[in-house]
Structure 1
Amino acid sequence: MKRSHWAEPYKIKMVEPLRKTSPEERKKLIAAAGFNTFQLKSADVYIDLLTDSGTSAMSDRQWAGMMLGDEAYSGSRNFFHLEEVVQQYYGYRYIVPTHQGRGAEHLISRLLIRPGMYVPGNMYFTTTRLHQELAGGNFIDVIIDEAHDPDSVFPFKGNIDLQKLEAVIQQVGAANIAYLSLATTVNMAGGQPISLDNMRQVRRLTQQHGIRIIHDMARVAENAFMIQQHEPGYEHKTVAAIVKEICALTDGAVMSGKKDALVNIGGFLALNDEGLYEEAKNLVIVYEGMHTYGGLAGRDMEAMAIGITESVEEAHIAARVYQVHYLGNLLKEAGVPVLNPIGTHGVFLNARTFLPHIPQTSFPAQALTVALYETGGIRSVERGIVSAGRNKETGDHHYPSLELVRLAIPRRVYTLSHMDVVADTIIDAYENRFNIPGLAFTLEPKYLRFFQARFEQLALQTAPIA
């Protein structure tokens, strides 16, 4: 009988020891951290799935490139290499480096949003929406309804609902829309891709009304891979070709190089409009640094340029997504409630179904992150009501339809054996789910509260919510 096994398409040449703590230690450590996994020390975490941002393992080629860093204050040769790579693989004409993706979000918000304007998009992301709001904008969600249904298996839940978008245009007027914020592989929806067919329809509609599309492209290669696998007509196209086709349907992009580009720090703003680029060049000097380094060392830009070329290699991107799906399928087979279909950068647990006894106002997803750490030292992140924040008009919570725990898998860091351990931990927590209590705030920061908030545990409530 022929057997077929899968192996990671790389070999390990350096290791970092992991430390296991006891359940008793972990209970004390998470309590001292205010029941917020962001406040844990990394040394106290066994398997860290808090984020895939800046946590990937760089390749030997990237480390070699770090030695070629040109640390000139202006005109670094690494900038011109990065610019060349962006033009080659993404097709954008101009780039402005930033220290990370949110630096680019800040710049584009300052450049395009005037107070009172609107920014429709395919579901919010935390830092993106905050920059838009701080610039005086109002985010409007125009993603398809399937994206809000954790049980829907529609393969392109990142798609934009054209009727919703057209209704926004008719209601507020195209002149009052700063731009369309279009994300590839929508993070808050569970790493869900958008189809090229949908993007082309969106492009036609926005061009009719003179509305720019700004692309959140942090995980564009992952989206391209899902198009290759699931969209008819693209099964024989390379990921690199699909990536360039995606970018060609947009006017500019914000990029966190800490995701697809496989670096620990860095990002950029990419543009096609020369006049807007000149404004961005001037503004970046105020907040980041010279327009040829933007808060980065030359070595960081070199590593990012090399990482972009590696991000579209077929073996790499297939293995990256396969590892995520391996974990997701283990959990589904065990009956653990996860968001469907499995996305590209992580597995998302459906906390509403996992913890039916905890009301949303007692933060079930946050409570589940605590339980996973206490059970097996696994660090994850809440993507529900805590991350959604408060309505700037009413002061009440935003109440998202999805209450999720994200298990974001760093690229090229863990093996399938680590995924087996993660699955065992989650299954154990699920079997003991009615022993998990809800939470209440003891400290609630004004901005992006999920990073620094602190909580206390509530009395245990075991009866499911009616």
Structure 2
Amino acid sequence: MSKKYVAEPFKIKMVEPIKMTTREERIEKIKEANYNLFALKAEDVYIDLLTDSGTGAMSSTQWAGIMLGDESYSGASSYFNLLDSAKDIFGYKYIQPVHQGRAAEKVVMPLLLSEGKIAISNMHFDTTRAHVELTGAKAIDCVVEEALDTTTYAPFKGNMDVERMKELINEYKSENVGAIIMTITNNTAGGQPVSMENMREVYKVAKESNITVIIDAARFAENAYFIKTREDGYKDKTIKEIVREMFSYGDVFTMSSKKDAIVNIGGLIGIRDEEEFYNAVKSRTISFEGFVSYGGLSGRDLEALAIGLNEGINFDYLNYRIGQMEYIGSRLEEENISFQYPVGGHAVFVDAKKLLPQIPYYEFPAQSLAIELYIEAGIRSCDIGSYMLDNDPVTGEQREAELEFTRLAIPRRVYTQAHLDVVVDALVSIKERAHEIKGYEITWQPKVLRHFTSKLKPIDK
């Protein structure tokens, strides 16, 4: 029996029409897009689960805030409203706005990493890995083994493997570990949360070795919700109290605010208390993003972000938000379609390797499934697997991902239960003909972050 759908803690005030297309039209449109879901026109997509980044619906309060945005170049009141909101939630002394998460990474990573250094993470996501490697450093994933078993329950599959992390520090020497990156929630592992205990242990080891800990904070509120509902000692804590403790186990954070702050653009850098590091961040922000008090954002964006940070930590909202994932997961369980279990906070990650075992990693099973979802029902999703991994920067060879996921990323406050049922029904239809589905090969690709712009073609065999 499917989990009961958690009713929306809001009412719908405005609607946006979406276009229905035929199967024949979709076959032609994905071909024109060179089988890259990113190359599709949004108007040709019925249910868009490509990403939860910047795709959420802002509240009436946020839209009202946009009208109050202060567009002064320097020292705008909207900037100070954002500082007040962020400092109150995270407890960090210094906050720097930027235009999105990868901008934060571009500013921060070269200050800590360079050729010969390594970055250890519970799992690097695509832009994080790219910005690590662009400095000449090496990105090493160090997630717990439970994350690699998609069918077995573990409450915190996003955790860092602390013993393995210690071994890496000893192997490479602490002075060569430029940063330890804690990604919360762990997107690449399936949107899986990190426990407070694990964050505490990692920070303790890092401080003993004098290594900076960066928190990749894109989905910090969802991670806090999982701690509250799954970890002993936290059920009576507020989300804000949990967030404050989480961030006490980091020195710096980078954040795409387009996720848990429910805005369409925006990012943050936080520095706990190191003024010298903050001054370096300010200098790089001015070079790449604009003056420090707007960081590549308009005043109205700063205002919406200040409001959204607080809306994103509301427990009733988070209960509904994670409830959507749990509803999809319960339906997939009924249909014996494997996914990263339990569901993550922002998406359901379908196990494409299990659904399409005939497709080897170098023919991209997760991308193949994503393409089939579009053809079947106009649903746009994305690969989180070997296709998303760029070729090895040293050997040039195709890297094999530990997990082959097709990610169904659910935009915040956008889709209803009926939409989610369409998604599951489409996967059921694909499952019935899964043995007929073939893989793809890349016909053109850039050197970095290839999955955004690569061109592919079906393998005919």
2:26 is aligned with 1:41: no
- How many angstroms apart in 2 are the aligned matches of 1:262 and 1:107? 23
> Which residue number in structure 1 is paired with residue 416 of structure 2?
415
**Distance in 1 between residues matched to 2:442 and 2:209, nearest whole Å:** 44
Residues 34 and 455 in structure 2, CA contact (< 8 A), matched pair in contact too = yes
Which residue pairs with 2:170 in the alignment?
Answer: 170
Post-superposition offset of 1:241: 1.1
Q: CA deviation at 1:134?
A: 0.8
Q: Identical aligned pairs, as a percentage?
A: 44
Looking at structure 2, the residues matched to 435 and 140 of structure 1 have their Cα atoms a distance apart, in angstroms, of 36
The corresponding residue for 1:135 is 135
Give, as a single letter, the amino acid of the residue that structure 1 aligns with 2:140: I
Pairwise mapping of residues 264-303 of structure 1 onto structure 2 (< 5 A)?
A: 264-272=264-272, 273-303=274-304
- Per the alignment, in what secondary structure is the counterpart of residue 387 of structure 1? coil
Q: Which residue of 2 aligns with 1:229?
A: 229
Following superposition of structure 1 onto structure 2, how do residues 252-331 of structure 1 map, counting pairs within 5 Å? Answer: 252-272=252-272, 273-331=274-332
* Aligned position for 1:378: 379
User: What's the counterpart of residue 146 of structure 1?
Assistant: 146
Per the TM alignment, residue 152 of structure 1 is displaced from its structure 2 partner at its CA by 2.9
Aligned to 2:114: 114
Looking at structure 2, the residues matched to 123 and 218 of structure 1 have their Cα atoms a distance apart, in angstroms, of: 14
Tell me what 1:463 maps to.
none
Q: Per-residue deviation at 1:5?
A: 6.9
Mapped contact 2:151–2:338 kept (Cα < 8 A) = no
In 2 relative to 1, CA 199–5 (structure 1 residues): closer, same or farther, beyond 3 Å?
Answer: closer
Distance 1:390 1:339 in 2: 25
What amino acid maps onto 2:358 in structure 1? Answer: H
Give the Cα separation in 2 of the matches to 1:459 and 1:362.
11
* 1:435 Cα offset (Å): 2.2
Shift of 1:112: 1.2
Inter-partner Cα distance in structure 1 for 2:397 and 2:152: 29
Take 1:169 and 1:363, find their aligned partners in 2: how far apart are those partners?
A: 33
Could you list the runs of 5+ residues in structure 2 that have no partner in the other structure?
A: none
Distance 2:58 2:215 in 1: 25
1:344 counterpart = 2:337? no
* Contact 1:110–1:135 under 8 Å retained in 2: yes
Once residues 250 and 359 of structure 1 are traced to their aligned partners in structure 2, the CA distance between those partners, rounded to angstroms, is 39
The match for 1:388 is: 389
Whole-angstrom CA distance in 2 between matches of 1:252 and 1:61: 30
Question: What displacement does 1:210 show?
Answer: 1.1
Query: Which deviates more from structure 2 when the two are superposed, residues 424-433 or residues 42-51?
Result: 424-433
User: What per-residue deviation string (whole Å, max 9, x for no partner) do you get for residues 287-333 of structure 1?
Assistant: 11001111000110110010000011111111111011111111111
Measured after TM superposition, the shift of residue 151 of structure 1 is 2.2
Q: Distance between the aligned counterparts of 2:443 and 2:138, measured in 1?
A: 29
- Alpha carbons 1:98, 1:269 under 8 Å: kept: yes
For the 8 Å contact 2:159–2:194, the answer to whether it is kept is yes
Q: Tell me the SS of whatever aligns to 1:182.
A: strand
Structure 2 counterpart of 1:359, one-letter code = P
Paired position in structure 1 for 2:86: 86
Q: Deviations over 1:226-250 (max 9, x none)?
A: 1111111111111121111101111
Measure, in 2, the Cα distance between the counterparts of 1:23 and 1:159. Answer: 41
Deviation sequence 1:393-451 (CA, Å, 0-9, x none)? 11111111101100000000001111111111111111111221211111112111100
Alignment: residue pair count: 457
Letter in 2 for 1:137: A
Q: Which piece of structure 1 moves more, 300-309 or 112-121?
A: 112-121
Normalising by structure 1, report the TM-score: 0.97
The answer to whether the 8 A contact 1:149-1:402 is kept is no
TM-score computed with the length of structure 2 as normaliser: 0.98
Partner Cα distance (1:6, 1:65) in 2: 28
Q: CA deviation at 1:389?
A: 1.3
How far apart, in 1, do the equivalents of 2:291 and 2:109 lie? Answer: 19
Name 2:218's counterpart in structure 1: 218
Quote the Cα distance in structure 2 between the aligned partners of 1:200 and 1:215: 12
Question: Is the contact between residue 351 and residue 404 of structure 1 (CA under 8 Å) also seen in structure 2?
Answer: yes
The reply on whether 1:203 has 2:187 as its aligned counterpart is: no
Structure 1 runs of 4+ off > 6 angstroms? none
